Structure 1
Amino acid sequence: MSSFAQVPEKDYLVDESGEPDFAAIHAHPEFLALRRRVLRFVFPLAALVLCWYLTYVLLAAYAPDLMATPVFGSVNAGLLLGLSQFASTVLIMSRYARFARRKADPMVASLRERAGVDR
């Protein structure tokens, strides 16, 4: 992973013109680890979101009596489940932001340094 030491000049991932060498970056073990880590986080979370949304849509389409069940006053189960879509979106967004800040961003910073972007 990344270290706090300066990257030696020979380890920079740049081409002859001094620009980032994207082929070398894509093949670098740090980049591959970053991709794996992001995909391991994003795909399960995206599947969870999709399943939750499809469950809500299917309940609305095929279980209208369940969705019309009064919970309190004029608030029914469908309204609560619909509003919970917003709450789950905020929760998922905050989880991703936390993941990016703690895990992905330090790895990206290390790769940027190796690519000579932050020199």
Structure 2
Amino acid sequence: MIDPAASSRGDTPWIGDDPRFTELRATYRRFVFPMTAAFLLWFLAYVLCSAYARGFMAAKVVGNVNVALVFGLLQFVSTFGIALAYGRFAARRLDPLAAALRSVAATHPTVPAPAGRGGDQELTENQA
């Protein structure tokens, strides 16, 4: 069992020490960091090709549609694809973990943070 008085991080100081919270953060990061890196590399490749590979980007694909236009449109496609993939990932992997934490937090008593860190402090004249 987690000792709610063992930590002092806000209204529910114990939540940061909960292994389910650690698992939630790790699961989130395992998806977001690689996906962000992949998208940024893809976007950087598009920008660099536009700046330095003008002949390649100007090559016609079909009619007046060139490689640059196709790559530009694929930026939108990849953005919506990543958003869709994240939505599915979150529903499948993150939401159950977050729901478990929410239910525990709803039944777990909160512990006020110590004075000086947003806890029980006297109101100043400006706050009253």
TM-score by length of 2: 0.75
Native 8 Å contact 2:2 2:17 kept in 1: no
Relative to 1, partners in 2 of residues 1:48 and 1:102: Cα closer, same or farther, differing over 3 Å?
A: same
Deviation at 1:22, TM superposition (A): 2.8
Residue identity (%): 45
Deviation at 1:13, TM superposition (A): 8.3
Question: Where does structure 2 lack aligned partners over 5 or more consecutive residues?
Answer: 108-128
Note the alpha carbon deviations across 1:54-105, whole angstroms, 9 max, x for none. 0000000000111000111000000000000011111100000000001100
- Residue 43 in structure 1 maps to residue 33 in structure 2: yes
Native 8 Å contact 2:2 2:14 kept in 1: no
1:106 aligns with 96
SS at match of 1:22: coil
- Residue 55 in structure 1 maps to residue 55 in structure 2: no
2:105 aligns with 115
Q: How far apart are the structure 2 equivalents of 1:13 and 1:100?
A: 29
Deviation at 1:42, TM superposition (A): 0.5
Native 8 Å contact 2:4 2:13 kept in 1: no
TM-score by length of 1: 0.80
- Residue 83 in structure 1 maps to residue 83 in structure 2: no
Question: Where does structure 1 lack aligned partners over 5 or more consecutive residues?
Answer: 1-10
Q: Could you tell me which amino acid in structure 1 is paired with residue 14 of structure 2?
A: A
SS at match of 2:106: coil
SS at match of 1:115: helix
Structure 1 ranges of 4+ moved more than 3 A: 11-15
Native 8 Å contact 2:43 2:75 kept in 1: yes
Aligned residue pairs: how many? 103
Q: How far apart are the structure 2 equivalents of 1:50 and 1:43?
A: 11
Native 8 Å contact 1:59 1:67 kept in 2: yes
* Larger RCO: 1 or 2 (CA < 8 Å, sep 6+): 1
CA-based RMSD: 2.0
Q: How far apart are the structure 1 equivalents of 2:15 and 2:76?
A: 38
Larger radius of gyration: 2
